[in-house]
């Protein structure tokens, strides 16, 4: 069984500040890990994914995440927040067979103030 | 352009009525999925299909039905047995051959029961 925990349903930052969204996972096999972003009334868009290559993964819009097996974490960061980053972010896990379904966290809403 | 098309975007239903949400993809993906999204609950899997004429129940299948007669299409019927159908519904697809579990999402259908 696999699961995902996202700490904080809402995170507020000022424009230009560091963004840190936390994700911890549980998986009995080597995981694949994903971060998705959702803008209001839209579907989800892939930000980045970890599939057992480099542990530091770079994604779109300046986001990156680091896979830390010892901490079972996959936190999402961005050095400098922009107003356009305001959205809901979802962490997800699947097992490395690629044939399992994704399990999503409950999401973290990122609020960016000027 | 390849992608996933969901329709309608907004739908209103009276209690006791069945409604069908459409999902069509032209990505040539084998697998298709339906998720339900409620505020603060993340995405929950309703049904998924990894091949034509076959589908599996997800975590919250009660009150829903699906069919997969064509590779491109995976319609979801919300039946009158679904006790709380008001939600945002997301369809997704994936390429199982890629073996990464990445999902591609449609823009969603918002169902409101009056």
Yes or no, beta carbons of A42 and B108 under 8 Å apart: yes
CB-based contact, A5 to chain B, within 8 Å: no
Cα–Cα distance between B43 and B33 in angstroms, integer?
11
For residue B104, give the 3-state DSSP assignment. Answer: strand
Q: Do B58 and A41 touch (CB under 8 A)?
A: no
Could A43 and B96 be called an inter-chain contact, meaning their C-beta atoms sit closer than 8 Å?
no
Please state the separation of Cα B84 from the chain's center in Å: 16
Adjacency order of strands within the sheet including B76-78: B4-7, B19-25, B76-78, B64-66
Going by their DSSP bridges, the two strands B10-13 and B109-113 should be labelled as parallel
Query: Mean pLDDT in each 10-residue stretch from start to end of chain A (114 residues)?
Result: 91 97 88 92 91 88 94 96 96 73 92 96
B97, pLDDT greater than 80: no
- Locate B101 and state its tokens: 């579990």
Q: Is A91 exposed, middle or buried (0-12, 13-18, 19+ CB in 10 A)?
A: buried
With a cut of 90, say whether residue B76 has pLDDT above it.
yes
């Amino acid at each position: 069984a696999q699961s995902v925990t996202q700490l904080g349903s809402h995170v507020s930052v000022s424009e230009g500040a560091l963004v840190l969204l936390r994700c911890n996972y549980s998986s009995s096999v080597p995981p694949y890990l994903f971060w998705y972003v959702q803008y209001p009334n839209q579907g989800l868009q892939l930000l980045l994914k970890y599939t057992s290559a480099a542990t530091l993964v770079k994604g779109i819009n300046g986001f990156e995440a680091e896979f830390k097996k010892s901490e079972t974490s996959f936190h999402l960061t961005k050095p400098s927040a922009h107003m356009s980053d305001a959205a809901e972010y979802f962490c997800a896990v699947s097992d490395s067979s690629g044939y399992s379904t994704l399990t999503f966290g409950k999401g973290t809403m990122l609020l960016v103030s000027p | 352009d390849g992608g996933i098309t969901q329709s309608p975007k907004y739908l209103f239903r009276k209690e006791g009525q069945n409604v069908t949400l459409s999902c069509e993809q032209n990505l040539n993906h084998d697998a298709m999925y339906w998720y339900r999204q409620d505020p603060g609950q993340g995405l929950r899997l309703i049904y998924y299909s990894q091949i034509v004429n076959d589908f599996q129940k997800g975590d919250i299948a009660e009150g829903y039905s699906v069919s997969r007669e064509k590779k491109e299409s995976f319609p979801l019927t919300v039946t009158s047995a679904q006790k709380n159908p008001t939600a945002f519904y997301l369809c997704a697809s994936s390429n199982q051959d890629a073996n990464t579990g990445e999902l591609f999402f449609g823009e969603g259908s918002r169902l409101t029961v009056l």
